[in-house]
């Protein structure tokens, strides 16, 4: 696609230069029309230049078409160009462009859709200052996601975060970045103290089965816990399982040891092991783990506070330390350190992002839930005020998930610990379906995860539909082999003339652009939506155009088109982290 863009852009710029002086900064841009009746590419260049030429966009567009016809445009690349509406330019591709693109898909195979960072984007590379390597290193990206403290199993909410982050990392990798995946956690805060107290309470109940109990919760939602038990303690069965392990190993040895770190240490290690195993089920492997505690141990946190005070951006009030966020346009200042001495999330997050910048990453992507919308601007402003460039920080905010069964939300109770773990969800609907359903909607929209649909093995299930299309092509290839037919790799593609054949070729050629845009916008759902379009177009092609039974030349051309479709489906599913089965 970029080649045809460049070809058209050069010709349009040439035609415009004959019409008058065009601003140097003007660049012709293209869009893919939503309606195929409006062409394969469209440009609003005439509208953008109306004030420059002091003519109506329609007049400018019509003159442009005349001049493009006079150049002339190569009909094998651009079959026709028309003026539409108030002055849009609509272009239709010629056969040479379409079929050369099809051959590129076949040649690139597993690499189709991959790109590299542009030469200008690679640091230190220019015509005056050549890189010492013939192959300059790509820019680096750090994607931080999941980042749940080790206080319990991953839930459905964590699942959307995990799959989004991993797929964004895949997209960046396909777009030429050297990508690292990082998990940020805190094992020294209030949550971990409460976790330790919860495990210890369950341990003491095993030491003394006659221990006193208390009931917590409301009248319709209660649970019995041993005394003592923190009011905000963790209630899941996993707490009792950890306590049982400790009791098996230590017996009554820790009964009176209030200061022991065993409860926290064992709980953290067990929970983290399970978190990593859950992520592994979804094909997610972290490259690094960053412990918030290191920011305190190094003194960075307190240096940040001191520096803010020097800059008159922090002050003491009511026993707390405040950040002057009013300096950045907020209506009120924000607490950095509570009166209890405990920092709020903003302070370590500022230190963490400074650490990322100092590690030299070109791009730093954070995947956060909607509850971070109000807090993250404070982090960026804090980083900037300390003299660091935050332009490489990009935040992806996702909305939360509701599980639906029988058109009714699945009720979850944190008091009774009746939450659905990510493992529970995977067990019910499979790894592939879990990933796809988390990705098939924009991250900034609330997701209703329909469990009934997710379990259905039919075309109604979107991931089944895509995987079945891939498996069908594999079946076609097997049948061809059984009858002794092998497609001629040099087949005459000009024989592909049916509307469904041309439509399929066109949609396949969009794949690199889809990957690029999804990567730039951090929107994996674009790929999921596109793959459905590929599957639909392939189904249309296959229902209208036989392969086996046609003349050898036509069968070969159609078989190559089927193989190209298989490549795009497989590559797209790979980006989404989903398998492309050969049989179903």
Domain boundaries, the chain: 2-93, 190-281, 462-575
CATH of the structural domain 2-93, one choice from 3.40.50.150, 3.30.1360.70, 3.40.1390.10, 3.30.70.20: 3.30.1360.70
Rg (CA), the chain: 29
Closest CA to 346 of 360, 331, 334: 334
Strand partners, 377: none
pLDDT values of the chain reduced to their tens digit, one per residue, 584 residues:
568 889 999 999 999 989 888 888 899 999 989 888 899 999 999 999 999 999 999 999 999 999 998 988 888 899 999 999 999 999 999 999 999 999 999 999 999 999 865 433 333 333 334 444 455 566 999 999 999 999 999 999 999 999 999 999 999 999 999 999 999 999 888 889 999 999 999 999 999 988 877 777 665 667 778 878 887 888 888 999 999 999 999 999 998 887 779 999 999 999 999 999 999 999 999 999 999 999 999 999 999 999 999 999 999 999 999 999 999 999 999 999 999 998 998 999 999 999 999 999 999 999 999 988 988 999 999 999 999 999 999 999 999 999 999 999 987 654 445 568 999 999 999 999 999 999 999 999 999 999 999 999 999 999 999 999 999 999 999 999 999 999 999 999 999 999 999 999 999 999 999 999 999 999 999 999 999 999 999 999 999 999 988 999 999 999 999 999 999 999 999 999 999 999 99
Cα–Cα distance between 131 and 194 in angstroms, integer? 53
Angle between helix 525-544 and helix 431-439 axes, rounded to 10 deg: 110
Helix (H) or strand (E) holding 216: strand 213-218
pLDDT (0 to 100) of residue 549: 87
Q: Residue 285: its pLDDT value, please?
A: 98
Q: What is the pLDDT of residue 264?
A: 94
Question: How buried is 165 (Cβ within 10 angstroms: 0-12 exposed, 13-18 middle, 19+ buried)?
Answer: buried
Q: Which residues contact 432 (CB under 8 A, 6 or more apart)?
A: 463, 467, 578, 579
Report the relative pairing of strands 447-450 and 314-317 from DSSP bridges. Answer: unpaired
Residues 57/46, Cβ–Cβ less than 8 Å: yes
In the β-sheet with 447-450, what is the strand arrangement from edge to edge? 408-409, 401-405, 447-450
421 DSSP assignment: B
Nearest to 580 by CA among 455, 466, 477: 466
In this structure, is the dihedral angle defined by the CA atoms of residues 11, 17, 19 and 25, taken in order, positive or negative? positive
Region label for 312, one of left (φ > 0), alpha (ψ between -120 and 50) or beta (otherwise): left
First to last CA, the chain: 33
Alpha-carbon distance of 479 to 287, in angstroms, equals 42
Distances (CA, A) of 338 to 221, 303, 341, 385: 32, 17, 5, 21
- Residue 73, token pair as written in the block: 């445009």
**Number of residues that this document lists for the chain:** 584
- Residues 219-254 as b or e (16 or more Cβ within 10 Å = b): eeeeeebbeebbeebbbbebbbebbeebbeebeeeb
In the chain, the largest separation of any two C-alpha atoms, in whole Å, equals 96
Per-residue buried b or exposed e for 124-161, using 16+ beta carbons within 10 Å of the residue's own CB: ebeeeeeeeeeebebbbbbbbbbbbbbbbbbbbbbbbb
Domain 462-575 CATH (choose: 1.10.730.10, 3.30.470.10, 3.40.50.300, 1.10.240.10): 1.10.730.10
pTM of the model: 0.91
Strands (E), 341-469: 363-369, 393-398, 401-405, 408-409, 447-450
């Amino acid at each position: 696609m970029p080649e045809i863009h460049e070809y058209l852009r050069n010709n349009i710029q040439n035609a415009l230069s004959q019409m008058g002086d065009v601003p140097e900064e003007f660049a012709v841009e293209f869009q893919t029309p939503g309606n195929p009746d409006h062409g394969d590419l469209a440009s609003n260049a005439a509208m953008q230049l109306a004030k420059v030429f002091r003519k109506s966009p329609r007049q400018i567009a019509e003159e442009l078409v005349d001049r493009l016809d006079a150049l002339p445009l190569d009909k094998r690349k651009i079959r026709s160009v028309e003026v539409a509406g108030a002055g849009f330019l609509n272009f239709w591709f010629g056969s040479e462009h379409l079929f050369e693109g099809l051959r590129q898909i076949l040649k690139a195979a597993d690499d189709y859709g991959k790109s590299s960072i542009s030469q200008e984007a690679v640091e230190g590379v220019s015509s005056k200052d050549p890189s010492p390597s013939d192959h300059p290193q790509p820019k680096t990206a750090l994607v931080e996601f999941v980042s749940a403290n080790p206080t319990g199993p991953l839930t459905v909410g964590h699942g959307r975060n995990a799959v989004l982050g991993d797929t964004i990392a895949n997209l960046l990798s396909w777009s030429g970045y050297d990508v690292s995946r990082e998990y940020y956690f805190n094992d020294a805060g209030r949550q971990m103290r409460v976790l330790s107290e919860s495990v210890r309470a369950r341990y003491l109940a095993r030491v003394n089965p006659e221990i006193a109990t208390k009931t917590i919760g409301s009248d319709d939602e209660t649970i019995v816990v041993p005394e003592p038990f923190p009011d905000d303690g963790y209630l899941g069965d996993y707490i009792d399982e950890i306590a049982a392990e400790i009791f098996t190993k230590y017996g009554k040895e820790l009964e009176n040891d209030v200061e022991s770190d065993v409860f926290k240490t064992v709980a953290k290690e067990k929970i983290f092991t399970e978190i990593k195993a859950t992520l592994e089920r979804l094909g997610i492997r972290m490259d690094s783990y960053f412990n918030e505690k290191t920011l305190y141990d190094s003194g960075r946190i307190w240096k940040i506070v001191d520096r803010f005070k020097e800059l008159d951006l922090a002050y003491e009030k009511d026993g707390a330390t405040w950040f002057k966020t009013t300096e950045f346009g907020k209506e009120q200042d924000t607490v950095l350190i509570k009166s209890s001495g405990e920092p709020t999330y903003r302070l370590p997050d500022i230190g963490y992002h400074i650490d990322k910048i100092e590690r030299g990453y070109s791009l730093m992507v954070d995947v956060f839930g909607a509850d971070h919308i109000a807090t993250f601007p404070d982090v960026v402003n804090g980083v900037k005020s300390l003299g660091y460039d935050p332009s490489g920080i990009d935040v992806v905010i996702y909305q939360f998930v509701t599980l639906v069964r029988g058109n009714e939300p699945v009720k979850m109770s944190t008091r009774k610990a009746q939450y659905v773990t990510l493992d529970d969800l995977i067990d019910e609907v499979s790894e592939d379906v879990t990933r796809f359903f988390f990705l098939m909607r924009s991250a900034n929209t609330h997701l209703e995860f329909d469990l009934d649909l997710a379990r259905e093995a039919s075309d109604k299930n979107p991931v089944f539909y895509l995987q079945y299309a891939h498996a069908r092509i594999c079946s076609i290839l097997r049948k061809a082999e059984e009858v002794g037919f092998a497609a001629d790799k040099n087949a005459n593609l000009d024989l592909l003339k049916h509307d469904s054949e041309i439509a399929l070729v066109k949609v396949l050629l969009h794949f690199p652009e889809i990957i690029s845009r999804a990567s730039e916008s951090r929107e994996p759902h674009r790929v999921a939506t596109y793959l459905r379009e590929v599957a639909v177009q392939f189904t249309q092609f296959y229902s209208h155009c036989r392969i086996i039974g046609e003349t050898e030349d036509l069968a070969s051309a159609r078989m190559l088109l089927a193989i190209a479709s298989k490549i795009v489906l497989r590559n797209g599913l790979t980006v989404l982290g989903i398998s492309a089965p050969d049989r179903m």
